[in-house]
């Protein structure tokens, strides 16, 4: 059985909630302190021992490729000065993995973005990180925790967290049966048997919402090819995963750590304050 070496980053969306900031800057490049959201995601994937970062971009996203590359002019300018330190982290990232890119031509939803990434992933299990869900934890990163779980259960893993009932229409919401596993906290693992994309509170099957971390097996691509547009007229990964869940192949995992919704201004400010305080520790 192949281990997980690749991570897919759907990064083609418009980021309309952050206009005008995202008019000329991809939302994935918005910085929390001095680091773009996408770099946090890539660092989380590196920590989980993933080696290839497969990024699905779109028009106007070229700065992503430039960020994960050497800037010779800049290097030359600051060589030998104290400012060189500012580049250490990104240099380490560039040295630790390889990047590959493809473009989603039309914005047809997250499911379509993931299917677009098939050409970069091939026939192996892979991680998916939605960079605007920024995660942090004291011990192992969220993706690393999920890779461990995958090694044990060898099926799709999705990260979930409890949300207030009123927020159900912002997320994919799951339901299922608790898996008993003494290595995990009671209730941390759920064998998913239902999932709905952005239900109204009255239709939500539980208060467990999917956050932007997935481990997917490559059979998801064939299912996505057959998946019809769902919520919002878009091809939803939630709908494709429901097909897998029906045959018992999806586990929802209540991860250990914090998650900030950096796709919203409130979450973004919260993340900024959190990482600022953490950096001052
Ligand atoms: C996507 C998924 C949704 C998931 C969410 C997590 O929605 O479609 O199921 O709960 O990411 O952030 P989006 O936020 O892209 O609308």
Question: How do residues 13-25 score in pLDDT, each as one tens digit?
Answer: 888 899 999 999 9
Distances, alpha carbon 30 to alpha carbons 22, 33, 213, in Å: 8, 9, 19
Find the mean pLDDT for residues 153-170.
Answer: 97
pLDDT at 51 over 80: yes
Q: Is residue 198 part of a domain?
A: yes
Mean of the per-residue pLDDT values of the chain: 95
Residue 104 within a domain: yes
Q: Choose one of 58, 104, 113, 172 to mutate for the ligand 1 pocket test, by most ligand atoms within 8 angstroms of C-beta.
A: 172
Q: 6 forms bridges with which residues in the sheet?
A: 52, 126
Question: Is residue 134 domain-resident?
Answer: yes
C-beta 112 within 6 A of ligand 1: no
Look at residue 1 and tell me if it is in a domain.
Answer: no
Distance 97 CA to ligand 1 centre (A): 26
Residues 140-151: tens digit of each pLDDT:
999 999 999 999
Q: How confident is the model at residue 86 (pLDDT cuts 50, 70, 90)?
A: confident
Look up the pTM and report it: 0.96
How many domains does one find in the chain?
Answer: 1
- Ligand 1 near 109 CB (within 6 A): no
| Residue 172 Cβ < 6 Å to ligand 1 | yes
Which range of residues forms the domain containing residue 50?
6-279
User: Which tokens is 99 given?
Assistant: 């990047």
Q: Is 130 near ligand 1, meaning CB less than 6 Å away?
A: yes
Asked if pLDDT for residue 59 goes beyond 90, the answer is no
Does 219 fall in a domain? yes
**Residue among 27, 110, 232, 235 to mutate when testing ligand 1 (max atoms within 8 A of CB):** 110
Instruction: Please give the number of the atom of ligand 1 that sits closest to the Cα of 132.
Output: 12
- In percent, the amount of the chain with pLDDT more than 70 equals 99
pLDDT number for residue 1: 54
Q: What is the distance between the alpha carbons of residues 121 and 127, in angstroms, rounded to a whole number?
A: 10
Q: What is the mean pLDDT of residues 60-78?
A: 89
Structure tokens at 24: 């000329």
Q: Is the CB of residue 168 below 6 angstroms from any atom belonging to ligand 1?
A: no
CA 141/CA 195 separation, integer angstroms: 25
Question: Does residue 46 register a pLDDT over 90?
Answer: yes
Confidence check: pLDDT of 278 > 90: yes
Look at residue 101 in the predicted model and tell me its pLDDT: 96
Ligand 1 centroid, distance to 96 Cα (angstroms): 28
Return the closest-CA partner of residue 207 out of 251, 250, 242, 160.
160
Mean pLDDT of 98-125: 95
In short, whether 211's Cβ falls inside 6 Å of ligand 1 is: yes
Q: What is the pLDDT of residue 186?
A: 92
Q: Which ligand 1 atom sits closest to the C-alpha of 110?
A: 8
pLDDT exceeds 80 at position 281: no
CATH number at residue 70: 3.90.550.10
pLDDT digits (tens, 9 = 90+) for 248-273: 999 999 999 999 999 999 999 999 99
Would the pLDDT of 60 be above 90? no
Helices (H) and strands (E) in the chain, counts: 10, 13
> Does residue 238 lie within any of the structural domains?
yes
Residue of higher predicted confidence among 3 and 200: 200
């Amino acid at each position: 059985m192949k281990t997980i070496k690749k991570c897919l980053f759907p990064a083609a969306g418009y980021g309309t909630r952050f206009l005008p900031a995202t008019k000329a800057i991809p939302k994935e490049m918005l910085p929390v302190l001095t680091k773009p959201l996408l770099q946090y995601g890539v660092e989380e994937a590196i920590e989980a021992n993933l080696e290839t970062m497969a990024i699905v971009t779109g028009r106007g996203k070229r700065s992503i490729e430039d960020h994960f590359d050497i800037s010779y002019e800049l290097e030359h300018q600051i060589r030998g000065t104290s400012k060189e330190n500012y580049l250490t982290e990104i240099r380490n990232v560039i040295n630790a993995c390889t990047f590959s890119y493809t473009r989603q031509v039309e914005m047809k939803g997250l499911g379509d973005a993931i299917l677009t990434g098939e050409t970069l992933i091939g026939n192996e299990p892979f991680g998916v990180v939605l960079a605007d869900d920024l995660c942090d934890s004291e011990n192992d990163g969220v993706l690393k925790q999920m890779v461990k779980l995958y090694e044990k259960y060898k099926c799709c893993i999705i990260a979930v967290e409890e949300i207030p009932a009123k927020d159900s229409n912002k997320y994919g919401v799951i339901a299922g049966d608790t898996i008993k596993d003494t290595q995990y906290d009671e209730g941390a693992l759920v064998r998913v048997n239902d999932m709905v994309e952005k239900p109204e509170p009255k239709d939500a099957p539980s208060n467990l919402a999917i956050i932007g971390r997935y481990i997917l097996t490559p059979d998801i691509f064939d299912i996505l090819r057959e998946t019809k547009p769902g919520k919002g007229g878009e091809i939803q990964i939630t709908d494709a995963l429901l097909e897998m869940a029906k045959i018992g192949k999806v586990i929802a995992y209540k991860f250990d750590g914090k998650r900030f919704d950096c796709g919203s201004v409130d979450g973004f400010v919260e993340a900024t304050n959190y990482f600022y305080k953490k950096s001052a520790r």
